[in-house]
Amino acid sequence: MTTPTRFGQDRAWGERAAAPLRRLAGRGARPNQAELAALKAALSQHDELAAALVRAVPARELHTALAAGPAGAGRAFFEAVLDRPPWVDDRLLDRGAHACRAFGLDAGLVLAYGSLLGGYRTAAALEPLVRTGRLAGGETLRRVKETSIWWRAVTAPGGLDPGREGFRLTLHVRIMHALVNARLAADPTWDTALRGTPINQYDQASTLGVFSTSFLLHLRLLGVRVSRRDAAAVMHLWSYIGWLMGVNEQWLPHTEKRGRRLLYHFLSYDPPPDDNSRALARALIAMTDQEFPGRRRRSLERERALSLSSWLLGRHAMHDLGLPYRFPWYGLTRVAANLLISQSLSRLPGGRRLLIARGERHARARFTRWGLNPQG
């Protein structure tokens, strides 16, 4: 099997970008030969279970098949996703979901300006977004809204139980990925020699790391208290979400230590940013122009976004993304607030309940501003 040429395309850039993760991963972080071979192979591997479903069921009938569940045309698919791995622990799923909700406002800030924006720093998985028109007009805000709806659904109490909204939306995203994969793979202009499979295991696992490992690291950068038990539960939650999304077992992070090592491997062999990276980054920062009325308010929110991004991602990443570096005044403001609230309140009896209530108020305000139903 020929390795797609994007792998290790610029090793100097990759090692420089991934250096913080290498230090956090500890001794022995660099991949061995077997791990390198697996990384290369993952660029040409897709989610075969979902691919089999979209091959067997016409696109116009997929919604019906998903609604029918194990009794319909998607029976084999549903039987597989309902057969949960033995390592899944409902108590850890529940704790992980509650922890994510308790992180409140900071969770939303990290998802936007740490996870999404940080993910744009490499050109690795961006071409499918371009091909599906997700760079145009108001698509950035729409994508953030969709991601937020899904995130709230999978972190709702029992949200990943079969039949619940988080479970349903996760499978919906998985099938959409399979449809896009099939369409792009059949497109003669898709450069397989350069990029590998359009939506591949390497990029899916790397994205999972952004929502789990990177998410926790960025929360701590904002001064949020993340206990060891909460961190373990969050990693467990996202490992199960990754499994539901079709990420192969070998790429599930399970623990922070493993997650940091995996994320280091992915980023260090990723290609550097391209024009798509910079266009998506600019669109995400400019998203506030669509959210808030008034020139002064929009200017303030844009500066707040740049300041927070500078704190979470650092000067080099901002340069890679073609964004101006700002003094991280807003990030430091969040650190000060969390030293007072998160670090102290979370240790008090009933503190978790108060933090969740506070987070729900922030979520309701954001969803109301977007014109969405904040339930869930």
- Identify the band that residue 354 occupies on the pLDDT scale cut at 50, 70 and 90: confident
Q: Is the pLDDT of residue 125 over 70?
A: yes
Does 68 score more than 80 pLDDT?
no
Residue 303 has pLDDT above 60, yes or no: yes
- What are the boundaries of each domain within the chain? 11-369
* 276-293: average pLDDT: 89
pLDDT of residue 365: 85
pLDDT single digits (tens) 92-105: 999 999 999 999 99
Q: Is the pLDDT of residue 36 over 80?
A: yes
pLDDT for position 135: 58
* DSSP string across 169-235: HHHHHHHHHHHHHHHHHT-TT--HHHH-SSS-HHHHHHHHHHHTHHHHHHHHHTT----HHHHHHHH
Place of tokens 């998203």: 287
Mean pLDDT of 123-151: 83
Kindly tell me if the per-residue pLDDT of 217 is higher than 60: yes
Regarding pTM above 0.85, the answer is yes
Which pLDDT tens digit goes with each residue over 165-206?
999 999 999 999 999 999 999 999 999 999 999 999 999 999
Residues 6 or more apart whose Cβ sits within 8 Å of residue 276: 123, 126, 127, 129, 130, 135
Per-residue model confidence (pLDDT) at position 129: 85
